[in-house]
Structure 1
Amino acid sequence: MEKKKPMRKCVGCGESKEKSLLIRVIRDTSGEIHLDPSGRANGRGAYVCRDIKCLEKAIKRKGLERSLKVSIPEETLEQLKKELEVNG
């Protein structure tokens, strides 16, 4: 019997995909927002496709802010885009 793979929804495009195909954006306990490539860090998380377009959609539609329950400064959003280009 095959093991069930966890599914998560992208806050950018809204598609449900396997967790391994998405990248997690977290707000950690200190309030910092960054990418979590391991998917295991402590904190409130939201999932985005490994595509810069989905991250831009999530920012434009405020999906990240809604999921992380915090307003995100512009410089942090730019940093997330750069990190996604490197890790994605």
Structure 2
Amino acid sequence: MKQRKVPMRKDIVTGEMAPKKQLVRVVRNQEQEVSVDPTGKQSGRGAYIALDVDIAKRAKKERTFDRVFDVKVPDDFYDDLIAYVDHQQARRELFDND
């Protein structure tokens, strides 16, 4: 059986390419609101970061999404992002058998 192509995306914090399933999408919509996109299908400008708490903390420290989306992103978004990534990382360690 033919192997499927694995979609790759670039982590905006580290600059490394990774499979899309190992990343989380953050999106800026037309109202200039930035949010986490767990489905990966919301409309708007998207950017990806790895499901790693250290990388999410680095994104907060460097204000990565402020620069990428060219908007002022509040600190509570970064805190929510860190909590989301921590939760997803724990889920992956528990349930992922790959």
Q: With structure 1 as the length reference, what TM-score do the two structures score?
A: 0.81
- CA displacement 1:43-68 (0-9 Å, x = unmatched): 11110101111111222233222222
Greater share of helix residues, 1 or 2?
2
Q: CA RMSD in A?
A: 1.8
Specify the alignment match of 2:69 in structure 1.
68
Deviations 1:10-61 (A, max 9, x none): 1222211011110001112232222111111111111010111111122223
Q: Is 2:40 the partner of 1:39?
A: yes
- Runs of at least 4 residues of structure 1 off by over 6 A? none
Residues in 1 aligned to 2:47 and 2:15: alpha-carbon distance in whole angstroms: 12
The structure having more radius of gyration, on CA atoms, is 2
Aligned-partner residue type, residue 10 of structure 2: K
> How is 1:19-58 mapped onto 2 (pairs within 5 angstroms)?
19-58=20-59
On the 8 A contact 1:21/1:49 being kept in 2, the answer is: yes
Task: List runs of 5+ in structure 1 lacking aligned partners.
Answer: none
Q: After the TM superposition, which of the residue ranges 7-16 and 58-67 deviates more from structure 2? A: 58-67
Q: Distance in 2 between the 1:31 and 1:15 partners?
A: 26
Q: Are the counterparts in 2 of residues 13 and 57 from structure 1 also a CA contact under 8 Å?
A: no
Contact in 2 for aligned 1:12/1:56 (Cα 8 Å): no
